[in-house]
Each structure stands twice: as structure tokens, then as C-alpha cells.
Amino acid sequence: MATAALIENKAFVPKEFNKISRRYDIATKMSQGYQDDLDASARRMNLRGDEKLLDLCCGTGKSTMACLKFLPNGTVTGVDNSEGMLLEATRKLSGGIKNGKATFILKDAMHLDFADNTFDAVYMAYGLRNMPNYEMAIKGIHRVLKPGGKICIHDYSLADNFFARAYWAILGYGFIVPFCTVMTGSSDIYTYLVKSVLTFLTPGQIKTLLENTGFEAATTQAHASWRKPILHSVIAVKKS
């Protein structure tokens, strides 16, 4: 599918992920710091360790693995709208599924049907950017999160300056698209990735969105090394 169509209608994004699901982890393994960054965002949530956590847009389960490291007495419910990505997640975390630590559900993050105040925490890695309506997505998360519960948005969100945008464009078109196309056999989703980041919210705008949707104590934190201008964690608490 053409990149312009994916930007225009993000409902097709999960189908594009289905195409590359079996080779997705090969590409992410070659991205220096990918799992470390997911772990860092989960650590920054300062979880007690016994929470019932919702991992939205969990993909192949790498974000679920990150969250489980900080939940010795808790559980993770992974949700994604791509059958192929969830298949990889269930293979990867079969042990966690068997012992009741992890559950995976095929579901659209824009239309969550969990009861109000179900989860103690929500982790959303590389997901909000793919939602057709950011505000509606955050309102849905707010509804299923318990008062006092924490949300973490982990995403490619560019610092609000020209350098960050230029840096991402060079990195995206010069490395991510050609390299990941070779690794996965598809260029559409990676070209979409680059363009979607260029049109996505800045960390400050995500913080404002959360604060305007019933969250407080919102903070933004950049990640390490070469990802500092382009990758951020935004963490907030649902008002009690």
C-alpha cells in the first residue's frame, strides 16, 4: 500500500505489520539500544511490582518483556491489532502465558472494551503515533486506567527543533528504510514510519495532551545516545 494512503488511513497499518511480522524482530535486533530503551521506559514508571498492566500495541512482545522485568508479582495484558505480530508475541512469551504472567488479545487500541478502572498501569510503545485520533486514544486509555494509575507513552517523538527533524529524516531515509527493507522484504511500513514521525506530536505536545485528558504529574525524558533527539518517554498519572 502506498505510504500516503497509510498516513491518510491508519486503519490499514496493522495489515502492513502482518506482512513483516515474522522478520520484524530481525530488524529491531540490529537497532542498537531498542530493547534497552523499552526497558528504560518501563523502569521510569517506578512500578510497585504487583500491578495489572496493559501493554497497548505490544507488537511481537518486546515491550511486554520489558514490563515483566519490573512486575515480579504483577501481570501484563498485551493488546495489538495485528494477528501476525501477536503470533510472534505468543511464541516468544509462551512460558509467561503458561504461568499466567502474560495474556495476549487481538484488539483495536482505538476501541478498548475493558471495564472502567481495570488496569493499574498502561504502557504504549510506538503505538500512539499510529492511532487515527490521538485524543480519542488517550481518552480510551484514561477510562480503563484506575485513578492514580500510570501511563507511559514510549515513541519516536522529535524534540521541537530543526536539528531533530533533519536528523530523523537523514536517519530514516538514509538508513532505516533501505536497511529494514532488505531485512524484512517490505518498504511501505518503514517509509510510513519515517513520515509518521515527522508529522507526530513533540514530547511537549504529548505531555499537554495527557494533561488535558485527565492526567497529572506528566514528565518527558529523552533516551540515551544517538536516540536522544528522537525518542522519548512521556509518563503521567491519572488524577485520583
What are the extents of the domains in the chain?
3-238
pLDDT of 14 over the 80 cut: no
Confidence of residue 4 (pLDDT cuts 50, 70, 90): low
Written out in words, the top-level CATH class of the domain with range 3-238 is alpha beta
**pLDDT in the model for residue 89:** 97
Burial class, 181, CB count within 10 angstroms (exposed 0-12 / middle 13-18 / buried 19+): middle
Q: What is the pLDDT of residue 20?
A: 79
Q: Where do runs of H (alpha helix) occur along 45-116?
A: 62-68, 83-92, 94-98
Per-residue pLDDT at 179: 84
The model's pTM is 0.93
Given a cut of 90, whether residue 151 has pLDDT beyond it is yes
Cα gap 187→165, rounded to integer Å: 21
Model pLDDT for residues 192-230, shown as the tens digit of each residue: 999 999 999 999 999 999 999 999 999 999 999 999 999
Residues 67-82, mean pLDDT to the nearest whole number: 97
Mean pLDDT of the chain: 93
Residue 169's Cβ-count burial label (10 Å; 0-12, 13-18, 19+) is middle
Question: Which tens digits make up the pLDDT trace of 28-66?
Answer: 776 778 999 999 999 999 999 999 999 999 999 999 999
Cα atoms found within 13 Å of the Cα of residue 203, Cβ hemisphere only? 24
Distances (CA, A) of 159 to 63, 133, 204: 23, 21, 8
Q: What angle do CA 219, 224, 137 make, to 5 degrees?
A: 45
For residue 16, pLDDT beyond 90: no
Instruction: Determine the pLDDT at residue 5.
Output: 62
pLDDT of residue 154 exceeding 70: yes
Residue 239 pLDDT exceeds 80: yes
What pLDDT digit, counting tens, does each position of 91-124 carry?
999 999 999 999 999 999 999 999 999 999 999 9
pLDDT value, residue 58:
97
Look at residue 182 in the predicted model and tell me its pLDDT. Answer: 87
Per-residue pLDDT at 78 exceeds 60: yes
Give the single-character DSSP code of 195.
H
Check whether 26 has a pLDDT greater than 60: yes
